[in-house]
Amino acid sequence: MELLKRRILEEASVLSADVLKLDRLLNHQVDTALAMEMGREFARRFGGERITKVITIESSGIPIAFATAYTLGVPLVFARRRKTLLAEPDAWTERVPAFTKGIVTDLVVSRHLLSPDDTLLYIDDIIANGDAARGLIRIIGQSGAKLAGVGIAVEKTFQSGGRLLRERGIRVESLVRIASLADGKIAFE
Ligand code: 5GP
């Protein structure tokens, strides 16, 4: 998606060789017009899949997932991230490392929000090692819902998350692919 590439070059910064800072576009301030544009692009790519719900993880996935769900005319469910040790009997819970926070959190989705009748599209902002995605996909598996695919705004292809999902046969669509953040430079594929 050329528009997103251009906006990343203009407004993102490289925090380290691993981490891209997108605070002006997605992760703190949200460019709502850009988020809507990304939502329309994901809706176009997955439009033939009879999606019944879009699912994401709070908080940074929500704007793009909202835009996608709105365009498709379906509800949005977001997994909550909690730092709790309490089991929740009415929820599916998976423990995952949080890439940028250096901590482990639980992803939590109430059981009544997903069912085997659902066909889900999982949308997220960035994929790195794929821990968040694998956790959410385990929850989707427990619910019995079908996963139609994964839409990611920014895939860092020098980390393994996207590749590992594709190797499992999951359809992964990313809007931009970053091959390297070395030497403070953003190199697209
Ligand atoms: P993963 O679980 O794939 O390793 O990391 C995914 C999550 O960590 C993303 O949803 C995102 O919130 C955060 N994340 C991973 N890499 C980056 C990055 O380079 N920049 C920012 N801002 N967040 C990231």
Backbone angles phi, psi at 125, to 5 degrees: -75, -50
Average pLDDT over residues 160-187: 98
Verify whether ligand 1 is closer than 6 Å to residue 20 (CB atom).
yes
pLDDT of the residue at 85: 66
Least confident of 63-67, 81-85, 92-96: 81-85
- Determine what percent of the chain is predicted with pLDDT higher than 90: 92
Q: Which atom of ligand 1 is nearest to the CA of 18?
A: 19
Q: Which residues contact 186 (CB under 8 A, 6 or more apart)?
A: 8, 9, 12, 14, 20, 178
Instruction: Express each pLDDT in 122-147 by its tens digit.
Output: 999 999 999 999 999 999 999 999 99
Q: Which atom of ligand 1 is nearest to the CA of 131?
A: 2
Q: Which domains, from first to last, does the chain contain?
A: 2-188 (3.40.50.2020)
Distance in Å, CA 85 to ligand 1 centroid: 23
Verify whether ligand 1 is closer than 6 Å to residue 165 (CB atom).
no
- Classify residue 63 by its DSSP letter: H
Instruction: Express each pLDDT in 11-49 by its tens digit.
Output: 999 999 999 999 999 999 999 999 999 999 999 999 999
Q: Which helix (H) or strand (E) holds 131?
A: helix 131-143
